[in-house]
Amino acid sequence: MLRFAEEVLLLLLDEERGDITTRISTHTLNVVLSGAVLMDLALEGHIDTDPRQLVVTDPTPTGDSLLDFALNDMMLDTEIHDAGYWIRYFARQGNAIRRRVLRRLVKRNVLESETEGRILLSRLVSLSRRYPMADGSWVEEVRLRIMRILFSDEIPDPRDVAIICLADSCNLFEIILNPTDLYNLRDRIDLVNKMDLIGRSVSTSLRKETSVRGA
């Protein structure tokens, strides 16, 4: 299984440039990576959120360093904060999260890092449109999976609901869809958003944070 932060970067990969698309600001990228970490923790039952506060409900480490550093920081803070506070807090570490995620994807042979610094989908992923997992299984490519869900009446599973809500809350569909498709799919995206029960407060806070600087 890939984490949401990993899938977000894969969604935003510009293979012609060999880097993350320039159509997203650094601020928005940092915010969406921060929200992605929180979304994984929420979906796995480690945190719970409402409009007023975010609380740690299960302090047990996940065993994934990408999530556990965030869980640990929230555990050590004795003050009560809402989801927006923690999105801003981890967004300040967005560059470090991005580097960590890219290293993981290269290590898993999902991405390849060229000597001149370009980052591309590995040849295996480019041909199969699937990602290899550590246990030997394969996962359908995130962009292909999301498009299949949006262009059909298929009922998405909770993780697919979450990644679609995460992408929409940070306006990523304006980047990865052309204007006509975005217009035609708006009702479908809104319908999927209504299915999000676990990460709704995180998504709401993400919308506020990305709009603060017009990102």
Q: Which of 4, 2, 1 is nearest to 163 (CA)?
A: 4
Enumerate domains of the chain plus CATH numbers.
4-140+198-212 (1.10.3630.10)
Check residue 133 and give its pLDDT: 83
Q: Which of 90, 21, 84, 95 is nearest to 211 (CA)?
A: 84
Give the C-alpha separation, 66 to 38, whole Å: 11
Q: Which of 73, 103, 115 is nearest to 91 (CA)?
A: 73
Average pLDDT, the chain: 91
Give the C-alpha separation, 199 to 210, whole Å: 16
Higher local confidence (pLDDT), 115 or 72: 72
For residues 193 and 165, the answer to whether their CB atoms sit within 8 Å is yes
Q: What is the pLDDT of residues 155-169, one digit of tens each?
A: 999 999 999 999 998
Query: For a pLDDT cut of 90, what percent of the chain falls above it?
Result: 70
Check residue 41 and give its pLDDT: 96
Whether residue 37 has pLDDT greater than 70: yes
